[in-house]
Structure 1
Amino acid sequence: MHYSKARITPALVAALLLLSAPIGAQTNLERVVNGAYTPTHDFDLIHQRIEVGSFDWDSTAFDGVVGTTVVSLREGLAAVTLDMDRRLEVRTVRGARNAALEFERPGDSLVVRLPRPAALGDTVRFRVSYRGRIEQGRGLYFFKEEPGRPHRPQQVYSDGGTDGNPRWIPTYAPPHDKTTWELVATVPARFTVVSNGRLVSDRRLPGGLRRTHWSQDRPASTFLISLVVAPLIKVSDRWRDVPVDYYVYPEDSALARPLFGVTPDMMETFTRLTGVPYPWKKYAQTTVADFIGGMENVSATTLVDWLPDRRAYLDRPWYQYVLVPHELSHQWFGDLVTAENWANYWLHEGFAQFMPGQYWAAKLGPAAEDDYYFEEYQQFLAKDARRRMPLATYNSNNVYPRGALVLRMLKQQLGERPFWAAINRFLTRHGGRTATSEDLRQAVLDATGQSLGWFWSQWIYQAGYPEFAVTAAWDSAAGAAVLTVRQTQQDTLRADSTGLRFTVPQVFRAPVAIRVRTTGGDLVQRVVIDAREQTVRIGGVREAPTMIVFDDENAVLKTLEFEQPTPWLTTLLARHPDLWNRSWAIGQLARRTGDSLA
C-alpha cells in the first residue's frame, strides 16, 4: 500500500490489549514481542469462495454469497465468528446439506452457530448469502460515468487496506491466518473483472452479462483479496514464464507500456537481490479512479489511473520512480511474508519503500540511490516532527520513510552481501507464513552471526533519532584532531490512555566514520559513539585540517550541528561524494549571509 494508513479501530486495539496484563507496566517492546496485538483465534480459515453480482451503482449495493471452510483449533467449537460490517444484510446462513444455521450479528461481526460443537481438527463449512450495502469508499468504491467528465468510466473496485475487505465480504480480517480463495463475479458484459491468482474462466451469459472466475490457490492473508470491475483493456507482457499484464482504460492504452514496461526488469532485479523468485503465478497492475495510490493485492496490484504522459518522462515521474516498484516489492514483503499483526506493519511498508532505492541503485548507480533516500530523509523528518513513534508499534505513523532509512542503515551496518543473505533467510524461512520484527532479527543473526539487539532496541522498538552537536579542534602539538560529540535529543513523550509511553534513547549507539582532510591527504577513523558526551581523538594529523566530516558514509539517521570554518564547508561541498553531506554543507553555508566566501 502506498501512503495509506493502517486503519484499525480503537475498540479492536482495546480488546487486544486486554489479552496482556498488566498493560500499563509494559514497554512498547514488551507489547510487540509478547503478541499483545495478535488476537486469539479458535479456527483456521482454509478457503473461501466469494460470489458477487447484481451491482447497483445508484444505491452502491450488490448481492454476495461467500462459502467458508474452517478447521477447528479447539475442542467443542460451538460457533465461528467472522468479521462482517453491520451494513451487510445477511439473508441466510446454510451449512451441510443446505441446512439453515442460526447466526447473530453483534457489531461488525457475524457469529455462525454450529449445529453441533466441532472437535479439534474438524472441518466446518457454511455459506452466507447477503445484500451488501456499501458506504462509498468503505471496502468498495462505486463510480458512475459523469456527463462531461472524461477519463472517469463506470467501475467498482475493492480496497482491502488493513480493514477494508470485511466491509464487503464476511471473512477473518487479521493478517496472521492465511487462506486460499476463489472470486466469481457476474457483471455487465462490457466490463472486465480482475482479481487475484489465475483466471479459471470468463464466459458470456444471457442478458448481456459475463461471469469471470479467478482462483488464488496459494494461501495469503485476506486483506489482499481484490476485485476490480471496469471497462479495461489488457496490455500483455512477461517475466520469464510469468504473465505480466497491465489493465487500463482503452484511451490509456498508449500510456501503459511506457509506464509499466519496466516491471519485468524490476521483477528480475528484486529476484536477483533477494535470491527469491517472484512468488506468484501472474502479476497484474490495474488502474482505477480516485485511488489512494496503490494497493498490493496478491498478484493483482490496484493503482491510481493518472498515468504519466510523454512530457512527464522529461523529469522523474513519481508513478514509475516510486509507486510501481513500491507495490511490486510488496509481492515479497507483505504478500509472501506477512506481518503477524499490524504492530509489525513496517515489515510491509518499510521494505516496500526501501526497495525502489535498491532498484534505482542497481540501474543508475549510487548517486540515484543517495538521491532516493535523501528524499525519504526529508519526509521522515517532517513526519517525526508531527508525531514521534517507533517503527514497530500499533498504527505507527512513520513506517514508510523511517522503515526505508532503517533498512538502509542495516544494510550499511552489515554490508551488501551479508544484508541480502539475511533478507533471503527471512523470505525463505517465512515465505507463505507470517513474521514479526524479531523474526527478521533472528534471520540476520542466523545469516550473519550478528545479533544486533542494540540496533533493534533503538531503531525498531523506540522512537526518535540521535541529534548530534559536534565541535572540533586541532591539537597541533599532539598532531591530532579532537572532536567533542554530544547527543542532545530529549525524551519528552507522554503516555497514552493505555499507559504506554514511547521512549527516545538518551544515548544512541552510532558506528560512524570520521574523515579528516589536510593538504597531505585524508585520514578516516571509525568510532562508535555510545555516550551522551564523548571525546574522539584522531591522531596523525600533522597539519591544520582543511575538512572534517562527521559520519563520512552517512551511515546513521540523524541531525547534525557542527560549526565549521567556511573553507571546510566549501571543501566538503566541492569534494565529498555523499549527497546528504553535501546538502548539509549547503544548509550550513546558506546561514552565512554575511560571508562572501559562503
Structure 2
Amino acid sequence: RASACREITVIFKVVNPKSGFYFSAPDEEYPDLPVLANTDHETERARYWLPCMDHPSVRTTLTVEIHARDDLVALSNGKLVLEKPSGETGKKVSKWKLDHPCPSYLLCIAVGDFIQANGGEHAGKPVSIFGPRNFFREEDLQRSFGRTKDMMDWMASKLDVPFPWPKYYQFVYSGGVGGAMENISLVSWADAYVNDEILAGERGWFVDLVNVHEMAHTFFGDAVVIRDFLHAWLKESWANYMELVWLEDTYGTEALHYQLVLERDQYVAEADKKYVRPLVTRHHDSSWSMFDSHLYPGGAWRLHMLRRILGDEVFWPAVSIYIQKNLWNTVETNEFRRILEDHSGLPLECFFDQWIYGKGFPKLKVSFTFNSDRGETIISVEQKQQDNAKGIGLFDFELEVEVETSEDVFQIVTVELRSSELEGKGSYALRSEKRPLQVVVDPNGKLLHTVDFTPGIEILQRTLNRGRTVLARCFAASALGELSSPKATSALADAASTESFWGVRRSIAKALGKIGSSAAVTRLVELCKQESDPRVVVSIVEALGHHSDESALQNIEDLLTQPDSPLTGHIAKMTALKMLGKQRGPSRVALLKRYLEQPLEEQWWGWVRRGAVAALGSTRCEESLQVLLEKLPYGAVRGTHGLTGVRSSIVEAIADCLEWASGSRRGEVVEILCHHLRTDKQYHFRMACARALSRLGDVPGSRAALHRFSLNCVNQDRPKVHRLVQNARRVRSRDNGFASIIAENESTKKDLRKLREKVDEMEHRFEALSKEWKASMKEKDSNAKQSKISLDDSTTKSA
C-alpha cells in the first residue's frame, strides 16, 4: 500500500572506504600529519561507506552518534543534543540531531584535534570555524573566515528568508577531495583556503566569494533540493550568482562588473575551446560531469540576465517566494520559471528555451558609420554564432549601446534583435552632429555575449581613460591589446598608472602581455615596481611570462630575487617561478631547486614550492626530470602543510617534462608512474598519475594500468578515467624527430617576435619622421606666408 511503512535496521562495518570518508593520522613518513576523519560526498560518494539511496531526491532526518577519543572534537549536521563519556576509558560519545530532511551528499561528519575560532552569532545561532591544531592558529581561521557572520546577516536580509539551521559551523581538513562543500550546517574547507597575512592580500577576496557561495547553498540546494542532477543549475548557478550580488552590495557596481568579465571569460573559454551544452540536459556520462563552467559562471550570467529583464523590484521578491514555497522540498527548472512568470506577469518560455535548454550564446559583430551630411550615426549588430551542426541558433534580445555624442554627453540606445527577423541582425540610427567620441557595447553588463568590434584606436584610448563603467574600460584594454601597436602599448601603460580600479589594471596587464613587444615588457616591469595591489602584481607577472625570450625572463628573475622585490606574495612568487621554466634547458634549474627545497612550513601551503615544481617540468631537461623523480615517492617531499597539492603538482610536472621526450626515457618513467598508480596511499595522487599517463600516450603498460585503475576508481570518476584511456590511445609516442619539430616551432616563434620588434621600431621611426616632416612643412608654410607679407609691403610702398 502507498501508506505502508517498514522500518529497517542495517548493521555494517566499513574498513578503508574507497571514497566518501577520509582519514588522516601521523605515520612513519609524516609524523606531523593531523589526526582527522571527515566525510565529503558530492556528488555520489556517500555510498562507499553508508548504506543509502545516494541521490538528492531521497532525503531523511538524521541522528548521528559519534564515538571518539575524549580529546578530539566531534562534529556533524544539526544540533548537539548529547556529549558524555562513553564508559570506555579516554572515550566519549557525541550525538547530533537534524530535524530537517537531508540528502546523502549533504550528510557530514568531522572528528579531529581541532582548534575553534568563535565567529559570533547570527539571529541567536552560533557561528564557529574549526581547523587542525598543528596546522593553524585561531587568528588564521579568523583572518580567512571571520566575515562569515556578516555575510549571513546580509544574505538573510537579501533573500528575506531566515537561516533554518540551529548553527553554522565550518571546518578545515587536510587531504580528501578538495575544495569547499556546503554540508547542511557544517561547511567543509580544504586547507588551501586558509590564508596567512601575505596570502590574504592576494587571495582573500576569492576565499570570501567561496564563503558566500557555500553559504548560499543553504537556500539553493540544502533547504530547497534539486530533484535530479540535470537541474543542478538551481543550486550551483545560484550559489555562483550570489557571489556577484554580494560583491555588488559590499564593494559596489565596479566589483560586480569586473567579476562579470571574469565569469564570462571562464564560461566562453569552455564553450569555445572544449564543448557547448545546454544548461539543463540529461546528456551527461556522470553527475560530476555537470559541474563545469557552463554550470557555474555560465548559469550565474543567465540568472543575472533574468534579474535585469525583470528588475530588482520584481526579481528578488519572486526569488524569496520561490525559496519559501519550496522549503524542504525538491524542485525542477520549470517550477522556478513559473514563479518568476507569476510574479512578473512576463512570459519567459522563449528565454528559458534559448538560454537554459538551448546551446551557446550570442557572438556579435558590431560596427558603426557616421554620415555628416545626414547628421546621424548608424549602429549595426549581427549575430555570428549560428551553427546548425552544433545545434546553436539565433537569440532574441535587446542590446544597449552607449554613445558619447559630444564632450561628456552620453546617450544609451537599444538595438533589438529577433531570431525570426532579418537573420538575427539589427541596427539603430542615432541623430548626431559629430562623429562619436565613444561607442560602448552593453556598458552595464545586461547580456552574456562576445563582440567583434574595432571602433579605432582613438575611440578605444578614450574609452580606456574615460569609460564610465569597468566593463567599458576592460573591453577597451582587451581591444587595444589586439592591435599590438606602439601607440596601443603606450595607451595601455599610461592608463594603468591612472586607473583607480584594480580589476581594470589587471585587464591592462593582460593586454600588454598579449602585445608581446619589448616595449610592452619594459612597461610591464615598470608597472610591477609601482603596483601596490598584490592581485594586480600576480597578473603583471603572468603577462611578463607570455614572453619566453631571455630578456623577458631575466626581468622576472630580477624582480623575484632583488632585495626590494615587489613580488612579496606567495602566488606572485609561484607565478614568477612558473614563468622562468619557459626558458627550456638547465640554465635556471639550480635556482628552481633552491625554492623546491624550502620547507613547506616556511611557504604557507607550498604555494611557492608548487611554482618551482611546475617550472622544472617546463624546462623539459633531464636534470629537472631527475629532481622531480626523486620527489615522487610518498615521504620524499619534506613537510606536511599542503602536501597533497605539492605531490600532485610533481606528477603533472613530470608529464610536462616528458611530453616531448624520446620513447626509451618515456617508457622508463611510465613504468614508475604505473607503479604509483597502483600503490600510492593518496587517491588524489593516483588520479594525478592517471592524468599524466594519459598525456604520455600509448606507451607499453600505460593503457593496461589506466584500464585497471578505471575498474577500481570512484564510480563518478570512471567516465573521466575512460576518457583518459581513450586519449592515451590517440597520443602516440613522440620520437626525437617530433621533438625537433617542436624545437623548430619555438625557434620560429622567437623569430616572429624579433620581426615584430623590428616592425615596431620602424613604426616608431615612421611616426618620428612624420612629425618632423609635418613640422618642416609647417615651417616652410610659415616662411612662405612671411615672404608674401614682405613682398606685399614692398609693393605698397612702391605704389
Deviations 1:293-326 (A, max 9, x none): 1111111111112310112223342553222111
Contact 1:285 1:300 survives alignment (8 Å)? yes
Residues 595 and 538 of structure 1: is their aligned pair in 2 closer, same or farther, counting only changes over 3 Å? farther
Structure 1 residues 519, 334: CA separation in 2 closer, same or farther (over 3 Å shift)? Answer: same
Match of 2:275 among 374, 387, 403: 387
* Structure-2 change in CA distance of 1:151 and 1:372 (3 Å): farther
Say whether residues 1:145 and 2:26 are aligned partners: yes
Partner of 1:130: 12
In structure 2, the CA distance between the partners of 1:230 and 1:412, relative to structure 1 (3 Å rule), is: same
AA aligned to 1:227 is: I
Map residues 550-569 of structure 1 onto 2, 5 A cutoff. 550-569=441-460
Aligned mates of 1:154, 1:366 — CA distance in 2: 44
> Is the counterpart of residue 301 in structure 1 residue 187 in structure 2?
yes
Write the distance in 2 (CA, Å) between the matches of 1:149 and 1:378.
Answer: 41
Structure 1 residues 390, 151: CA separation in 2 closer, same or farther (over 3 Å shift)? farther
CA distance in structure 1 between the partners assigned to 2:5 and 2:485 by the alignment = 79
Deviations 1:442-474 (A, max 9, x none): 111122212222211111111211110112101
Q: Which residue of 1 aligns with 2:252?
A: 365
Decide whether the 8 Å contact of 1:203 with 1:211 is kept in 2: yes
**Counterpart-to-counterpart distance in 1, 2:371 and 2:163:** 57
1:372: how far off? 2.2
1:171 and 2:45 matched: no
Contact 2:26 2:32 in 1 (8 A): no
Distance in structure 1 (CA, Å) of the matches to 2:206 and 2:38: 20
- Tell me by how many angstroms 1:593 deviates: 2.8
1:528 paired with 2:413, answer no
Q: Which residue of 2 aligns with 1:30?
A: none
Q: What TM-score, normalized to structure 2? A: 0.57
The answer to whether the Cα contact below 8 Å between 2:73 and 2:113 also exists between their aligned partners in 1 is yes
Secondary structure at the aligned position of 2:236 is classed as helix
Structure 2 residue 115 is the aligned partner of structure 1 residue 233: yes
Match of residue 247, structure 1, among 126, 130, 152: 130
In structure 2, distance between residues paired with 1:169 and 1:476: 75
Asked if the contact 2:395/2:424 (under 8 Å) is kept, the reply is no
Cα distance in structure 2, aligned partners of 1:475 and 1:299: 63
TM-score, reference length from structure 1: 0.75
- Structure ranking higher in strand proportion: 1
Residue 581 (structure 1) shift: 2.5
Give the SS at the match of 2:170. strand
**Structure number with bigger Rg:** 2
How far apart are the structure 2 equivalents of 1:149 and 1:218? 40
Report matched runs for 1:267-278 at 5 Å: 267-278=152-163
Aligned residue in 2 for 1:540: 431
Give the match for residue 418 of structure 1: 314
Deviates more, 1:575-584 or 1:156-165: 575-584
Partner in structure 2 of residue 444 of structure 1: 340
Counterparts of 1:311 and 1:573, CA distance in 2: 31
Distance 1:570 1:489, change over 3 A: same
Q: Which amino acid aligns with 1:458?
A: Q
1:486 aligned onto 2:374 = no
Aligned to 2:204: 317
Post-superposition offset of 1:148: 6.5
Superposed CA RMSD in Å reads 1.9
TM-aligned CA distance change 1:284 to 1:319, over 3 Å: farther
> Which protein has greater RCO, CA pairs closer than 8 Å, 6+ apart?
1
Q: Are 2:95 and 1:210 aligned? A: no
- How far apart in 1 are the matches of 2:388 and 2:23? 45
Q: 1:332 aligns with which of 219, 224, 235?
A: 219
Q: How many Å apart are 1:435 and its aligned residue?
A: 1.0
Q: Distance in 1 between matches of 2:435 and 2:318?
A: 43
How far, CA to CA, are the matches of 1:558 and 1:360 in structure 2? 21
- The Cα shift of 1:386 comes to 1.6
Contact 1:293/1:323 (<8 A) preserved: no
CA distance 1:260–1:593, change in 2 (3 Å):
closer
SS in 2 for 1:160: coil
- Describe the SS at the equivalent of 2:434: coil
SS at match of 1:128: coil
Q: Which amino acid aligns with 2:109?
A: L
Instruction: Provide the C-alpha distance between the structure 2 equivalents of 1:298 and 1:592, rounded to a whole number of angstroms.
Output: 50
Q: How many residues align?
A: 470
Q: Any conservation in 1 of the 2:56–2:228 contact (CA below 8 Å)?
A: yes
Q: 2:351 aligns with which of 455, 474, 487?
A: 455
**2:576 counterpart residue number:** none
CA 1:319 to 1:191, structure 2 compared with 1: closer, same or farther past 3 Å?
Answer: farther
1: CA distance, partners of 2:12 / 2:343: 50
Bigger Cα displacement from structure 2, 274-283 vs 363-372: 363-372
Of residues 219-228 and 312-321 in structure 1, the stretch that sits farther from structure 2 once superposed is: 312-321
Q: 1:151 to 1:440 in 2, by over 3 A?
A: farther
Q: Secondary structure at the match of 2:26?
A: coil
Counterpart residue number, 2:147:
262
Query: Identity percentage over the alignment?
Result: 25
Paired position in structure 1 for 2:73 = 192
Deviations 1:218-272 (A, max 9, x none): 1122221111121113323211211112111224222112222211110111111
Deviation at 1:492, TM superposition (A): 5.6
Equivalent-residue separation in structure 1 for 2:248 and 2:31 (angstroms): 38
| Structure 2 SS opposite 1:328 | helix
Q: Distance in 2 between matches of 1:373 and 1:460?
A: 18
Alignment partner, residue 588 of structure 1: 479
The answer to whether the 8 A contact 1:278-1:331 is kept is yes
The runs of 5 or more residues in structure 2 that have no matched partner are 283-288, 492-799
Task: Give the 3 Å change call, closer, same or farther, for CA 231–577 of structure 1 in structure 2.
Answer: same
Q: Secondary structure at the match of 2:221?
A: coil
Aligned partner letter, 2:280: A
| Contact 2:62/2:99, CA 8 A, preserved across alignment | yes
SS at match of 2:9: strand
Residue 572 of structure 1 contacts residue 582 of structure 1 at CA under 8 Å; is this kept in 2? yes
Give the 3-state SS of the residue equivalent to 2:52 in structure 1: coil
Distance in 2 between residues matched to 1:553 and 1:360, nearest whole Å: 15
**Residue 467 (1) aligns with residue 363 (2):** yes
Query: Structure 1 residues 279-288 or 379-388, which shifts more?
Result: 379-388
3-state secondary structure, aligned to 2:336: helix
SS at match of 1:174: coil
In 1, distance between residues paired with 2:301 and 2:54? 29
Counterpart pick for 2:463 among 572, 580, 590: 572
| CA gap 1:469/1:150 in 2 versus in 1, 3 angstroms | farther
Given that 1:193 and 1:212 are in contact with CA atoms closer than 8 Å, whether structure 2 keeps it comes out as yes
Q: Which position in structure 1 is the counterpart of 2:577? A: none
Residues in 2 aligned to 1:169 and 1:401: alpha-carbon distance in whole angstroms: 33
Aligned equivalents of 1:493, 1:417: Cα separation in 2:
40
